[in-house]
Amino acid sequence: MKRFLSTNYTDGVFNFAMLILRVGLGVLLLQHGYYKLVHFSTMKHSFLNFMGMGSTLSLSLSIFAEFFCAIFVMIGLFTRFTVIPIIIGLGVAVVKAHNKAIFAEGELASVYIIGFIVILLLGPGKVSVDRLIAR
pLDDT, tens digit, for every residue of 44-97? 988 988 888 899 999 999 999 999 999 999 999 999 999 999 999 999 999 988
Which residues span the domain enclosing 76? 13-134
Burial pattern 8-44, b for ≥16 Cβ within 10 A else e, equals: eeeeeeebeebbebbeebbeebbebbeebbeeeeebb
Whether the pLDDT of residue 104 is over 80: the answer is: yes
Q: How many domains does the chain have?
A: 1
Write down the pTM of the prediction: 0.90
Q: Is residue 30 part of a domain?
A: yes
Report the range of poorest mean pLDDT among 2-11, 23-32, 77-86, 92-101: 2-11
Q: Is residue 4 part of a domain?
A: no
pLDDT of residue 72: 97
Q: Is residue 1 part of a domain?
A: no
In the chain, pLDDT over 90 holds for what percent of residues?
A: 70
Q: Is residue 81 part of a domain?
A: yes
Q: Is residue 5 part of a domain?
A: no
Q: Is residue 64 part of a domain?
A: yes
CB atoms within 10 A of CB 1: 5
Report the range of poorest mean pLDDT among 15-19, 44-48, 86-90, 120-124: 44-48
Over residues 107-123, mean pLDDT: 95
Q: Is residue 7 part of a domain?
A: no
Over residues 9-21, mean pLDDT: 92
- Measure the CA–CA gap between 10 and 37, rounded to whole angstroms: 40
Q: Is residue 8 part of a domain?
A: no
